[in-house]
Amino acid sequence: MRLIIASNNKHKIREIREILGHRFDEVLSMRDAGIELDVVEDADSFLGNARKKALETAALLPGDAVLADDSGLCVDALGGAPGVYSARYAGEGHDDAANRKKLVEALRDVPYEERDAHFACSMVLVSDGKVLAEAVGKVCGKIIGEERGENGFGYDPLFYYEPFGMTFAELDPETKNSVSHRHNALMLLLAALDEENA
């Protein structure tokens, strides 16, 4: 069975291929599979968005497995915001830099010890209209008040990972991927698949 990843992000696809590749005959991006689909992510949770993306994509690929994910940043002091609005926190048409600027401003008067946050990643694996497995991975950290690091993307320059004493943007990609929310979700998904096949 082929695995189609509901994404064209080459870094994400490489990471998924490394962890799940042995379970499938082939691992392809949407572009590789000849699919162009823009799913409206309007659910009120990461899991809801991932499920919707997986089911809509799988409807075009009978016989294949489809893996979709949705992820974002949740800040405790902001009641879990930006959450499902992480990519458009500063409004439609704004970029990562604008989102980070808004986050720094929102937390300006919040002391460091109250800046707990986590990245969350929900993954859903679907085939022929049936959900085969779901998983939610998290990684916890703190939001700092100034950007540090040149790697990563999104909120990585503000997300301080205390076990390493660095922001996600200061970590090399391999190190970040070994502890990331996506990695954790993938490992949980793999465990769920192994359990189902045991």
CA separation for the pair 161, 41 (Å, rounded) = 28
Q: Catalytic residue, from 64, 69, 70, 156: name it.
A: 70
**With the CA atoms of 148, 8, 29 and 14 taken in that order, what torsion angle do they form, in degrees rounded to the nearest 10?**
-20
CA separation for the pair 14, 27 (Å, rounded) = 9
State how far Cα 14 lies from the chain centre. Answer: 14
- The sign one gets for the Cα dihedral 46, 30, 59, 26 is negative
Does 32 participate in catalysis according to the annotation?
Answer: no
Catalytically active residues are 70
